[in-house]
Structure 1
Amino acid sequence: MNEIKSPALTNSKVPGWHFTMMRDSARNSAIEAAIASCNVIGKTIVEIGTGAGLPAMLFARYGARKVLSCEMDERIAAAAREIIRANELKDCIEVIAKSSRQAILDGDLPLAPDIIFTETLDAGVVGEGYEAIAEDIRRIASHNTVVLPNRIQQFGFLCTDVDAFERNSVFKQCGFDLSGFNVFAERSYFLVSQLQNDPVCLSATVLFRDYDYLNPNALDPVEHQVIAYSSGVCHGMTSYFDVYFGKFLVTSRDRKSHWHAAFHPLREPMQVQSGRRYLLRGDKTGLIDLVSL
């Protein structure tokens, strides 16, 4: 393996979600089916986010001429190179130990590749660098470039979720007011386990945001009018997403998915009334607010 040069990377752990992601058979099957349906024979592929190298090797399996895959974590890049070598695919896969932005600036990536693939999504879609990666994709894509995934739809509903809200705040403990520490609370969103969390729905589910890597306006602020269909204390919004690799769907709404749901907290819990209309607003970071109409 390549020598690790970055002390910051050496002293930090590789996040454990990589393992649950790689064991997600529904996700793996959808990605393979999408790649198999693309007729990749003889084509040039750019991948952003190598991981262990599975998508890159699938592109090679189905006949890609060249796969250039960016991985900014040097340790993961080194491991992926070894995995690719062990699977006898190193001749058509090149792992570039850089961010896609740096690889573009250094001239390592071709303009107008046939396919660009990325799966850099967290529970709230944007937390793994969506904005920068979308900009990079638009820099090198041509009108003929196929981008996978081609569409991501994020859905959300207002909810009562005391457990999730309290995970992100503190008030009185041992008779002392600790609420001043809430300046450090997460304001956009954080992960919640679908197996352990059971939010109470207060509204219908809305299509909160449509994402398209080729659309420069995909992260513009959004507004939705929602009607509370039951009264209660709203702590925020629970969201999940559907990601389309061509016609093949992977969803984080499935409790068996390796992806968690996302909880977007309101700054302060808000009492909502059944039948009343509210304006739900969101910004590009996933931060929301709610206003009574």
Structure 2
Amino acid sequence: MSKSGADIGFLLKKATAFARQHKKMEAEALFLEVLEVDPDNFQAKKGLEALVSLSIPQWHFDMLADENRNFAFQRAIEKFVSNDSNVLDLGTGSSLLALMAARAGAKSVLGCEVNPDIAQVAQKVVVMNGYHDRVNIVGKHSNQIEMGVDFEEKFDVILAEVLDTGGLGEGVLPSLRHATEHLAKPNAIILPSGISLNAVLVEAKRLQKVNPIHEISGFDLSAFQDFSMSDTYKPINLKDEPHEKLSDVFPLRTYDFRNLPAEIPFDNPEVESYKVKCTASGQLQAVAFWFDMHMGDEASYSSGPDGELVHWQQAVYFFEKPIDIKKGQQVDLQALFSDELIRFRLT
């Protein structure tokens, strides 16, 4: 029985309502029902596009547009991948790095992608580019794959571009611990081979007003802070955000992914202390930090404000209670390191 225009209108309204309530499956089913009757229905097509776009964060596109990031991996892959290489790509996303490994001659490439929608499209990308004979995408986290089921031979090269703005937040350390212990051959190549974290003290007056949020335009909006994660950093492009540097850049910590540290739980972090000399007077509101990404022992690339890697931006951790400081003053700072998060304290 065909549906009338009124029926289709009702289905579209219901689908749109589900979409606004973030009920993706229900909305998708109704949009598809409309398209079965009216394949050219513009509203249903756009509704489906919007639902699909929710499956993948915008930073994926910013990452793919980061030409220096792509070049850094391509250069390293071409150097370290050979015709005998079995390659594991952690968090493959679009499958770009997996494809680079195949183009460099890899014998086989397995890409792991925990997001099922992205994994499905990544496999489609592989087929479109003609590498489906050597590249396989599985919709699993790397700690779920099994030898004899998902792959036949342990891996010679691990691609671990699972870095967030602060370096550790996407779980690169636990992912690599599992991969090197259970999935990789001895002395497997890991790319990147490590990261070095650097930091600077900053005053950022505009953003400090909402980190945490208190009074805006004479109104107490502190209840709105419930929607913001506390005690964590935020990605901010310091080139675009007005701020004042209150210290020189100083090193925080280096991670060698070929020699991984033991697990550091969130509730029992490693604490390191720093004595930082202030180079300007102002209000110390935050610590900004970033990473240098190492590709073997020869090449490094920075996500800092003046670095080559642009899409990661910089991680900015705001103090709940800023302090006024004077030029030449020494600030006692603590960094709390756990496997997936870095936090700071003024002491």
Question: TM (normalized to structure 2)?
Answer: 0.75
Correspondent of 1:216 among 261, 266, 278: 261
1-structure distance, mates of 2:179, 2:167: 16
1:210–1:218 Cα contact (<8 Å) kept:
no
Contact 2:177/2:260, CA 8 A, preserved across alignment: no
The one-letter amino acid paired with 2:316 is F
CA displacement at 1:80 relative to structure 2: 0.9
CA 1:255–1:116 in 2, change beyond 3 Å: closer, same or farther? closer
What secondary structure, in the 3-state scheme, does the structure 2 residue paired with 1:144 have?
Answer: strand
1:28 Cα deviation after fit: 1.1
Q: Say whether residues 1:96 and 2:135 are aligned partners.
A: no
Q: Where is the helix percentage greater, Structure 1 or Structure 2?
A: 2
2:346 is the counterpart of 1:274 = no
Post-superposition offset of 1:25:
1.3
Question: What runs of 5+ residues in structure 2 fail to find an aligned partner?
Answer: 1-23, 27-50, 265-269
1:233 aligns with 2:276: no
Q: Indicate the residue corresponding to 1:118 in structure 2.
A: 160
Amino acid at match of 1:22: L
State the Cα distance separating 1:138 from its structure 2 match.
3.4
Alpha-carbon distance, 1:87 to partner: 1.0
**1:206 equivalenced with 2:285 (yes/no):** no
Is 1:23 the counterpart of 2:65 in the alignment? Answer: yes
Asked whether 1:187 is paired with 2:236, we answer no
Shift of 1:221: 3.0
- Contact 1:168-1:185 at 8 Å conserved across structures: no
Cα distance between partner residues in 2 of 1:176 and 1:152 = 43
> CA, structure 1 residues 72+7, in 2 after alignment: closer, same or farther (shift >3 Å)?
farther
CA distance in 2, matches of 1:89, 1:215: 32
Report the Cα distance in structure 1 between the residues aligned to 2:240 and 2:53, rounded to whole angstroms.
31
SS of residue matched to 1:34:
helix
**CA contact under 8 A between 2:88 and 2:159: conserved in structure 1?**
yes
- Using the TM superposition, give the Cα deviation of residue 115 of structure 1 relative to its aligned residue in structure 2, in angstroms: 0.8
Distance in 1 of aligned mates of 2:93 and 2:105: 20
Q: For residues 172 and 198 of structure 1, what CA distance do their matches in structure 2 show?
A: 20
1:251 pairs, out of 279, 291, 302, with: 302
Tell me whether 199-208 or 108-117 shows the greater mean CA deviation. 108-117
Q: Which residue of 2 aligns with 1:3?
A: none
**1:101 is paired with a residue of what secondary structure?**
helix
Write the distance in 1 (CA, Å) between the matches of 2:148 and 2:222. 47
The whole-number CA distance in structure 2 between the counterparts of 1:218 and 1:207 is 22
1:61 to 103, 127, 130: 103
The TM-score with structure 1 as length reference comes to 0.88
Shift of 1:164: 2.5
- Structure with larger Rg: 2
Q: Report which stretch shifted further, 98-107 or 27-36.
A: 98-107
Cα RMSD (Å): 2.6
Structure 1 CA distance for aligned equivalents of residues 334 and 147 of structure 2: 36
Select 1:76's aligned residue among 89, 106, 118: 118
Query: Offset of 1:42 from its aligned partner?
Result: 1.4
Match of 1:162 among 187, 205, 229: 205
Rounded Cα–Cα distance in structure 2 between residues aligned with 1:102 and 1:62: 27
3-state secondary structure, aligned to 2:164: coil
* Displacement after TM superposition at 1:91 (Å): 0.8
Q: In structure 2, how many angstroms separate the alpha carbons of the residues matched to 1:288 and 1:59?
A: 38
Taking every aligned residue pair, what percent have the same amino acid on both sides?
27
- Counterpart secondary structure, 1:207: strand
Higher RCO (CA < 8 A, seq sep 6+):
1
Give structure 1 stretches of 5+ with no counterpart.
1-5
Equivalent residue for 2:215, pick from 162, 172, 176: 172
- SS at 1:169 equivalent: coil
Q: How many residues align?
A: 286
Secondary structure of residue in 2 paired with 1:14: coil
**Deviation for aligned residue 1:226:** 1.1
Cα distance in structure 2, aligned partners of 1:218 and 1:27: 28
Aligned mates of 1:110, 1:216 — CA distance in 2: 28
2:47 counterpart residue number: none
Partner of 2:343 in structure 1?
287
Q: CA deviation at 1:133?
A: 1.6
2:128 matched residue in structure 1: 86
